[in-house]
Structure 1
Amino acid sequence: MSIAQPIVMSAPDAGEELARAEIYGLLSSLFFAPPSAELLGQFQVAVTEAPEPGGFLERPWQDLVAAARASDEPQAAAEYEALFMGVGKPEVFLYGSFYMAGYLHETPLVKLRSSLGELGLARDAAMQETEDHVAYVFEVMRYLIAGDDLAVCNLERQRQFFRAHVQPWVERFCETLAQHPGAGLYRQVALFTQAFMAVETQAFDMLE
């Protein structure tokens, strides 16, 4: 499957599930590649107030929007390249196997591929990144929320995938990224992602 097209949070009256799917899609886009001029333009008009003032995600979302509005396409691209695409070892790894096993292409990736096979999903042959790339696992979550196949696109499948392939490492990845001195825009991306992961974790806790 392919990475989601750039999207932003829906208006406050959007359904909760649609909003969740769109957040995963947005984060997938931001981690897969630096934001395009079009996506940065969407941030210029993005809604920044939650339906209920003081919502848990409201402040980190406002901070992310402010950082995106203060950035431009060349700046964002330069930051992305410096953080994630360094020659040799990148400053910040984007792959789950690194955070769970300490190395790339290890057992967590094998387990992830097995889970994807059970869901009937496979990596797009044109995609160079491995399936444990944070953008890919977020895109899978988006699919499990918004997809049409109810046999796999349901809350229980979301919970299982999140517990096995998202929750064990994304928070540590966000902490690493947020603390990096070279992160500006992507510090706010990391902090918003971290807050969203906390909301998702709590919601899945309530299912158990």
Structure 2
Amino acid sequence: MTQALHFSTPDDREELARAEVYGLLAQLFYAPPSPTLFEQLQVAPTVAPTPGGMLEASWTELVAATRRLALDQVCDEYDALFTGIGKPEVFLYGSFFIAGALNEKPLAALRHDLRALCLERPETVPETEDHLASLCEVMRYLIAGDDLAVSNLAQQQRFFNAHLRGWVEALWTQLADHPRADFYRVLSLFARDFFAVEGQAFDLLD
């Protein structure tokens, strides 16, 4: 069972952990893990400071998947699910889940909000801003950035509710049920737990 984070008493370690999870999800959904990242996951600790603590079970399953599978298998799975020739098996773009097609109104709304945050997509990045990895990177920035006028709880809550909350559950379900998903099925379950915790915590701010 997930537990809500307590934002009323900020803890630098807790905030850093949140930012690191968003950063990890961004890396793993943008591309297959690098050899270095994969090795780090294989030796990652799986016991929470408090037994049965937040995300412990699904995190343990994720680490176990990296120890069970070879990196080549994970890379092949990523390509089969998210790239492929023509239409991918699974889309990672918010517009697809919200509007049923890519490059629709949700992307325009996202770009408007990113401009307000003084953020823009680098020209070297081909994926549009509503790619899950990009959205996770924005959340990481809103947690760990130095500009408190931008990186604060109110901005995190607003961005999460506007651009992630409404569609990621459908993605986690699609991955959890996909017959070709193994590592990314486990990752989706960890992400589902993490996003549930985030959602509970943001609800406490209202």
Structure 2 CA distance for aligned equivalents of residues 68 and 14 of structure 1: 29
The match for 1:113 among 88, 111, 114 is: 111
Give the drift of 1:152. Answer: 0.3
What amino acid sits opposite 1:102 in the alignment? G
- Structure 1 runs of 4+ off > 2 angstroms? none
Which residue matches 2:88? 90
The match for 2:129 among 131, 147, 150 is: 131
Give the drift of 1:50. Answer: 1.0
Structure 2 CA distance for aligned equivalents of residues 53 and 129 of structure 1: 39
Residue pair 1:40, 1:69 contacting (<8 A) in 2 also: no
Q: 1:145-195, CA deviations, whole angstroms, 9 ceiling, x for partnerless residues?
A: 001111100000000000000101111111111110000000011000000
Range that drifts further, 38-47 or 110-119: 38-47
Identity %: 59
Q: How many residues align?
A: 196
Structure 1 CA distance for aligned equivalents of residues 39 and 116 of structure 2: 38
Structure 2 CA distance for aligned equivalents of residues 24 and 54 of structure 1: 21
The equivalences for 1:8-157 within 5 A come to 15-157=13-155
Give the drift of 1:14. Answer: 7.4
Give the drift of 1:56. Answer: 3.5
Structure 2 CA distance for aligned equivalents of residues 156 and 51 of structure 1: 28
Give the drift of 1:105. Answer: 0.4
Structure 1 CA distance for aligned equivalents of residues 181 and 37 of structure 2: 19
Relative to structure 1, is the Cα distance of residues 197 and 133 closer, same or farther in structure 2, using a 3 angstrom cutoff?
same
Structure 2 CA distance for aligned equivalents of residues 181 and 56 of structure 1: 28
Does residue 160 (structure 1) correspond to residue 158 (structure 2)? The answer is yes
Residue pair 1:179, 1:187 contacting (<8 A) in 2 also: yes
Unaligned ranges ≥5, structure 2:
1-10
Structure 1 CA distance for aligned equivalents of residues 12 and 109 of structure 2: 34
Greater RCO between the two (CA within 8 Å, min separation 6)? Answer: 2
Unaligned ranges ≥5, structure 1:
1-12
Which residue matches 1:183? 181
Residue pair 1:40, 1:72 contacting (<8 A) in 2 also: no
TM-score between the two structures when normalised by the length of structure 2: 0.93
